[in-house]
Amino acid sequence: MKSRYPFKKLSILNLWFISTCTLFVFAFVIVFQGIKGIHDAILGALLTLIVLMLTGFANIMWLFLLKKLVSHSFNTKKIYYTLSYTFSICIFLTVIVSYNYIYQQPTSILELSNLVVVSVFVNTLIVIFHNYIALQDAKVNADMENSQLKAANAEASNQLLRQQIHPHFFFNALNILKSLYKLDPIAAEEYLVCLSNFLRTSVSSNNIKIIPLKDELKLCEDYLGMQKIRFGNALVCFVSIAEDMLENGFVPSFSIQPLLENAIKHNELTKASPLHIFIEQDGDRIKVSNNLKPKITTETSTGIGLANLSERYRILSNDELIIENEGTSFSVSIKILNKEAFMQESAQKHI
């Protein structure tokens, strides 16, 4: 991570520190000397302002120069502290000695010693404040960069998981279409129309992570249209979702369709014992359930299924799937997302 210093924040801190100390000196002199000491108070505040202004902004200057000019092979901290304290002591001594000279006041060794101590103390306070601001800013920048990396990683993971869905479904659909053309060309043509609609919808939302609930259900309608051609009356589906939720609800794209595919894939479908799939609203969640009649021999699994959906949902919404197996029925529910999540994603796509 590139080294950066919050020069603007340090400058604001300097101004606050200088103003506070200057007002304190002014008030301190007034309290002890009263109104008669107004001249001394103004003079003391002015000296404090000059000394702290030079000392405080000199520290920022050293940081800037070291960042620009000094190679990283040098110990920049030692150079910084040496320059900082040396310049601070020189500033204090120069200002006070000059003041004494102008007003023809003697400067004793004890006064000089006290000035050194005071300059070290004041400069230490400034350095501590500067280091605190720099550390806080570095922490904020590090957290921001970590968040950006996590977001980028989550987006990459989500794209990878989405890319696994399309080939898996498409290869199955082509195999089914091939079989239908041999058995029933008319049904195969209807299947092809549904497949075309399904692929058109899925391609148009390929780069969209969160879509309106009604669009996801339209995708499911095309998918179920293909499966009805394949299985006929052996497949029955019921949809029960409030109209306002259809208009205002959002879900991750390809979040409901894989649940339908999972139910059809793992259960026997016969006219005597049809598979019933229910897509229902359950509070702020969509629940997809079906009666259980597991296949004796299941299709080869790609390992995508619920694990894929669960991971995508965790990445996009930090929410978990609710999976229930009651022996005679199986259900999975997902949380309906709000419009803010959709708007946030749309905004990120235009950044």
Give per-residue pLDDT as tens, 249-279: 998 877 898 889 889 888 888 888 899 999 9
Structure tokens at 80: 């910084």
Alpha carbon distance 229, 182 (integer Å): 14
Q: Can you give the pLDDT at residue 279?
A: 95
* C-alpha dist (Å) from residue 338 to 212, 244, 288, 341: 9, 12, 19, 6
The pLDDT > 90 percentage for the chain reads: 11
Quick one: how far is CA 51 from the chain centroid?
Answer: 44
Q: Has residue 235 got a pLDDT over 90? A: yes
By the 8 A CB rule, do 191 and 181 touch?
Answer: no
DSSP helix/strand/coil, 281? strand
Q: Has residue 157 got a pLDDT over 90? A: no
Sorted by sequence, the CB contacts under 8 Å of residue 95 that are 6+ apart come out as: 47, 50, 51, 54
Q: How confident is the prediction for the chain on average, in pLDDT?
A: 80
Q: Can you give the pLDDT at residue 350?
A: 43
Handedness of CA 223, 226, 229, 234 (dihedral sign): negative
Sorted by sequence, the CB contacts under 8 Å of residue 55 that are 6+ apart come out as: 87, 88, 91, 92, 119, 122, 123, 126
Handedness of CA 84, 90, 94, 96 (dihedral sign): positive
Q: Has residue 164 got a pLDDT over 70? A: no
Q: Can you give the pLDDT at residue 177?
A: 86
By the 8 A CB rule, do 38 and 25 touch?
Answer: no
Q: Has residue 53 got a pLDDT over 90? A: no
pTM for the predicted model, two decimal places: 0.53
Q: Residue 208's closest CA among 351, 350, 347, 346?
A: 346
Strand order in the sheet with 235-240: 235-240, 275-282, 285-291, 329-335, 322-325
DSSP helix/strand/coil, 274? coil
Q: What is the mean pLDDT of residues 328-345?
A: 77
By the 8 A CB rule, do 19 and 81 touch?
Answer: no
Domain ranges of the chain: 7-143, 184-349
More reliable by pLDDT, 77 or 325? 325
Structure tokens at 108: 């004793």
Sorted by sequence, the CB contacts under 8 Å of residue 83 that are 6+ apart come out as: 62
DSSP helix/strand/coil, 161? helix
Q: Can you give the pLDDT at residue 150?
A: 67
DSSP helix/strand/coil, 280? strand
CATH code at 184-349: 3.30.565.10
